[in-house]
Chain A
């Protein structure tokens, strides 16, 4: 199994960088000053899919999506609710109609995600583990 997965990962890395990134270790992070230590998968789901956008402290939570091209976004939703991006888009399309809730903020680049999160104390985003620096704090780690 390990041998196989290593083989697959090697193959993918040799093919494209994006894919290489997508297979990267995605973690949910928040501003280090947010005061939140951990979030459950449900909490993250509610925040990103618009059901309940508040932190356990009661402060507003602001979800930030990575750019679609990065591959991190698809990886994140797959990890979180086991849906592909088409399904996530279809989901949001239905909710546009009533306008009661809206999708997370869409960053244009990965670095924008980092900037946004660094500026927003209630922000919740996801990134590769290697991107996490001192400004951020991992609140949900998908890896076992």
Chain B
């Protein structure tokens, strides 16, 4: 608008003009309607009143009229008519007696009345019957009064005019008041508000003033609403501004992250066009800066090893609409290959956002780990896992291609543990490596070699099941492994036991083949080692038997189906019974007595030996207590397995038992073998000292059959040596044996140890041993192992034997 907004006039289409027009129009219509109604009503009223007045007029002259008509006196009738006409409202009066007119008079003229005038007077002519003055029901004439229409019209006109004038004044007054009220109450404030709004700057804090007197009116509320809206808009603007600033900051921050990220970040469209990527991505993909500027770079142009794979990946993600993660290989310009882990997630309909990491190092580590998982670190051969997978693939191969079968060898170095004890683990590892290289020299290149655990190797001989050839190869292996190994300049000789299982005869799956070849090698080892054994079904059967026995053994422990047998030990220097060795027997409910040689190995393998050992301790204590009570000073020894040392039979529990039974500790002796001392020296030593501290005796059993290191005798707190029965029995015929026994006895004596000779079966044995200065003897010569209750019989027999002259 060109005019100054502050002084804008009331506009033509404004509220005021419209209101005025509307008011005037409404009032005009109301006026017209009112006047029309007034005219109608007035006319009706005037006519009614006219009728009423004329009727009244007629009443006043009725008696005279009756008389006039009764006697047909036209003079009297005319007189009455004239009198009636003196009323200005009447135009004409007609009187008749039923047959002829008595009077017919009209206003304004004395002559003949004008019929047309009467007709014009309209319908409202008053006509009345005239009754006889003497007979009330006899009509004797009629009178007709015609009112003057002009008079009525005049009256109507006057009434309407008055009503119109009154109404006009009233309407004009109301209209004026309404318009003025509108002007001051509505139009002015709105116009003022409008003018204010034009110049208002809400951001500067300008607000509409509330028009005076309008604090509680709609206009006041409108102004308030406008102000509230203005405040809200200002606040929204401020928020928007703050948001924009924050967005700019965020944008910068994210841009910095994007640019500096180590991960490659990119955005790619459905058609493969890369729209954005960060420097890290450019470095990974070797995108030159020229390409960056050119702006049209497609996914397919990047150096993927398999571009088709990438295209498929993009398609899948766009189709599935969910993020995916994939490892892909790229080929760099220097021909090196890098593994990238790429995470793609859809952004909107046609865009994908990708994050890329170089995972080459991880991949390499993974591959290394995978390799390590199947490789023995010492020899570089497959480990058990590797072997099993090889074995399985072999079997699969055999089944698919119907080949000739293959042979599985388990090669177990004999007594390798003892060797390690002597030379140390690093030297042992060195030997293992030599074994590996010797084995690989013997077998063919496509045969498989593996190391299953410490000293167990495994060979798969491919396409071979002919036993002669197998034996040939096995022989070569044994020969090769038998060659001396040079450790720290000294040669060490080893032997091996070999178990042989053939696919498919001895098993058609990897676990069975392995188990069977292991059974075979156990058999070979059991036979003393340095031999090879083909798997036979009987091996599996005996393994099965062992398993049965193990179950029975558990029951036996539960139900205490054991007995201690006692074999007397005789002091041959003083010719008296000194005590006994307690030997366990298993009273099997169906088989009968079972000797320890049969079930102790099983008990050792299954760990049941611990429970059995406890029972033996208890029973030995009971026996000693029984002797003590009957006044015997016998000693009692029992065997302790390597498996019980040190945890299975801790010195504390031995002390507890001794205390509980109240027996003299020096009467109880524990028999151990050299092997115990060889295994874990430190633990065994600690255990031995613990036992020794309790005052118990310790005997070294089967002395001479094993490693028999004399140095041990110094190191360990051992009080007694038990010479193995094989030496004693060999004494009679073999001079060497005899001197060996003599030497042992001499050494023991020199070390202050007692010597017990086992296996004394003849009087000659006894004589020799006694001559050699052996302290004690034990054997069938004196007695077989006996149940405790038969020990008294043995006592007597021995006493008799000792008394007899030698």
Chain A residues within CB distance 8 Å of chain B: 42, 45, 49-51, 81, 83, 91, 94-95, 97-101
Q: Can you list 25 A-B contacts (CB < 8 A)? A: A42-B135, A45-B135, A49-B70, A49-B71, A50-B71, A51-B70, A51-B72, A81-B134, A83-B134, A91-B133, A94-B64, A94-B76, A95-B67, A95-B71, A95-B73, A95-B76, A97-B76, A97-B79, A98-B73, A98-B76, A98-B79, A100-B71, A100-B76, A101-B71, A101-B73
With A and B bound together, what is the CA distance between A98 and B64 in angstroms? 12
B580 to chain A, nearest CB (A): 178
The 3 lowest CB-CB distance pairs between A and B, nearest first, are A98-B75, A81-B134, A100-B73
With A and B bound together, what is the CA distance between A81 and B70 in angstroms? 14
B190 to chain A, nearest CB (A): 83
**B75/A91 in contact, CB under 8 A:** no
With A and B bound together, what is the CA distance between A39 and B134 in angstroms? 17
Residues in A neighbouring B133, C-beta threshold 8 A: 91
With A and B bound together, what is the CA distance between A27 and B668 in angstroms? 192
Nearest-CB residue, chain B, relative to A97: B76
Residues in A neighbouring B73, C-beta threshold 8 A: 95, 98, 100-101
Residues in A neighbouring B134, C-beta threshold 8 A: 45, 49, 81, 83
Q: How many residues of B contact A (CB 8 A)?
A: 13
Interface residues of B in 63-86 (CB under 8 A from A): 64, 67, 70-76, 79
Greatest chain A CB density within 10 A among B70, B74, B79 is at B70
Q: 14 more A-B contacts (CB under 8 A) besides A98-B79, A100-B71? A: A50-B71, A51-B70, A51-B71, A51-B72, A81-B134, A83-B134, A95-B67, A97-B75, A98-B73, A98-B75, A99-B75, A100-B74, A100-B76, A101-B71
With A and B bound together, what is the CA distance between A50 and B69 in angstroms? 12
Residues in B neighbouring A98, C-beta threshold 8 A: 73, 75-76, 79
B289 to chain A, nearest CB (A): 145
Nearest-CB residue, chain A, relative to B70: A51
Residues in A neighbouring B72, C-beta threshold 8 A: 51
Q: Known: A45-B134, A49-B134, A81-B134. Is A91-B76 also a contact (CB below 8 A)? A: no
Residues in A neighbouring B67, C-beta threshold 8 A: 91, 94-95
A19 to chain B, nearest CB (A): 25
Greatest chain B CB density within 10 A among A42, A95, A99 is at A95
With A and B bound together, what is the CA distance between A101 and B71 in angstroms? 8
With A and B bound together, what is the CA distance between A51 and B138 in angstroms? 14
**B75/A100 in contact, CB under 8 A:** yes
With A and B bound together, what is the CA distance between A42 and B64 in angstroms? 20
Residues in B neighbouring A91, C-beta threshold 8 A: 67, 133
With A and B bound together, what is the CA distance between A50 and B70 in angstroms? 9
Nearest-CB residue, chain A, relative to B75: A98
Nearest-CB residue, chain B, relative to A80: B134
With A and B bound together, what is the CA distance between A81 and B136 in angstroms? 10
With A and B bound together, what is the CA distance between A51 and B74 in angstroms? 13
- Contact string against A for B residues 85-127, beta-carbon threshold 8 Å, 1 for contact and 0 otherwise: 0000000000000000000000000000000000000000000
With A and B bound together, what is the CA distance between A81 and B138 in angstroms? 13
Residues in B neighbouring A42, C-beta threshold 8 A: 135
With A and B bound together, what is the CA distance between A45 and B133 in angstroms? 11
With A and B bound together, what is the CA distance between A72 and B71 in angstroms? 24
B105 to chain A, nearest CB (A): 16
Residues in B neighbouring A99, C-beta threshold 8 A: 75
Nearest-CB residue, chain B, relative to A99: B75
Residues in B neighbouring A101, C-beta threshold 8 A: 71, 73
- Contact string against A for B residues 132-144, beta-carbon threshold 8 Å, 1 for contact and 0 otherwise: 0111000000000
With A and B bound together, what is the CA distance between A42 and B72 in angstroms? 16
With A and B bound together, what is the CA distance between A78 and B284 in angstroms? 152
Nearest-CB residue, chain B, relative to A94: B67
A81 to chain B, nearest CB (A): 4
B140 to chain A, nearest CB (A): 9
A84 to chain B, nearest CB (A): 13
A30 to chain B, nearest CB (A): 21
Nearest-CB residue, chain A, relative to B63: A94
With A and B bound together, what is the CA distance between A100 and B68 in angstroms? 10
Nearest-CB residue, chain A, relative to B67: A94
- Contact string against A for B residues 402-438, beta-carbon threshold 8 Å, 1 for contact and 0 otherwise: 0000000000000000000000000000000000000
Residues in B neighbouring A81, C-beta threshold 8 A: 134
Residues in B neighbouring A100, C-beta threshold 8 A: 71, 73-76
Nearest-CB residue, chain B, relative to A92: B67
With A and B bound together, what is the CA distance between A111 and B538 in angstroms? 197
With A and B bound together, what is the CA distance between A99 and B75 in angstroms? 9
With A and B bound together, what is the CA distance between A45 and B134 in angstroms? 8
With A and B bound together, what is the CA distance between A144 and B135 in angstroms? 20
Residues in A neighbouring B135, C-beta threshold 8 A: 42, 45
Nearest-CB residue, chain B, relative to A91: B67
With A and B bound together, what is the CA distance between A135 and B70 in angstroms? 33
Greatest chain B CB density within 10 A among A45, A94, A97 is at A94
Residues in A neighbouring B75, C-beta threshold 8 A: 97-100
A61 to chain B, nearest CB (A): 15
With A and B bound together, what is the CA distance between A70 and B135 in angstroms? 26
With A and B bound together, what is the CA distance between A51 and B79 in angstroms? 19
B84 to chain A, nearest CB (A): 16
With A and B bound together, what is the CA distance between A133 and B67 in angstroms? 36
With A and B bound together, what is the CA distance between A22 and B222 in angstroms? 104
With A and B bound together, what is the CA distance between A20 and B135 in angstroms? 29
A23 to chain B, nearest CB (A): 23
With A and B bound together, what is the CA distance between A50 and B132 in angstroms? 13
Nearest-CB residue, chain A, relative to B134: A81
With A and B bound together, what is the CA distance between A81 and B132 in angstroms? 11
A141 to chain B, nearest CB (A): 19
With A and B bound together, what is the CA distance between A104 and B74 in angstroms? 21
With A and B bound together, what is the CA distance between A127 and B287 in angstroms? 165
Residues in B neighbouring A95, C-beta threshold 8 A: 67, 71, 73, 76
Residues in A neighbouring B74, C-beta threshold 8 A: 100
A53 to chain B, nearest CB (A): 10
With A and B bound together, what is the CA distance between A51 and B64 in angstroms? 14
With A and B bound together, what is the CA distance between A50 and B75 in angstroms? 15
With A and B bound together, what is the CA distance between A83 and B67 in angstroms? 14
B71 to chain A, nearest CB (A): 5
B67 to chain A, nearest CB (A): 5
Interface residues of B in 602-643 (CB under 8 A from A): none
With A and B bound together, what is the CA distance between A49 and B74 in angstroms? 17
Greatest chain B CB density within 10 A among A50, A98, A99, A101 is at A98
Nearest-CB residue, chain B, relative to A101: B71
A121 to chain B, nearest CB (A): 24
Nearest-CB residue, chain A, relative to B78: A98
A80 to chain B, nearest CB (A): 8
With A and B bound together, what is the CA distance between A99 and B79 in angstroms? 13
B264 to chain A, nearest CB (A): 141
With A and B bound together, what is the CA distance between A99 and B73 in angstroms? 9
Residues in B neighbouring A97, C-beta threshold 8 A: 75-76, 79
Residues in B neighbouring A51, C-beta threshold 8 A: 70-72
With A and B bound together, what is the CA distance between A83 and B79 in angstroms? 25
- Contact string against A for B residues 683-698, beta-carbon threshold 8 Å, 1 for contact and 0 otherwise: 0000000000000000
With A and B bound together, what is the CA distance between A98 and B133 in angstroms? 18
B77 to chain A, nearest CB (A): 9
Greatest chain A CB density within 10 A among B70, B76, B134 is at B134
Nearest-CB residue, chain A, relative to B72: A51
Nearest-CB residue, chain A, relative to B133: A91
With A and B bound together, what is the CA distance between A95 and B135 in angstroms? 18
Greatest chain B CB density within 10 A among A51, A91, A97, A99 is at A51
Residues in A neighbouring B64, C-beta threshold 8 A: 94
With A and B bound together, what is the CA distance between A91 and B76 in angstroms? 12
With A and B bound together, what is the CA distance between A99 and B74 in angstroms? 11
Nearest-CB residue, chain B, relative to A87: B133
B418 to chain A, nearest CB (A): 179
B261 to chain A, nearest CB (A): 139
With A and B bound together, what is the CA distance between A42 and B545 in angstroms? 169
- Contact string against A for B residues 309-337, beta-carbon threshold 8 Å, 1 for contact and 0 otherwise: 00000000000000000000000000000
With A and B bound together, what is the CA distance between A91 and B71 in angstroms? 11
Nearest-CB residue, chain B, relative to A45: B134
Nearest-CB residue, chain B, relative to A77: B134
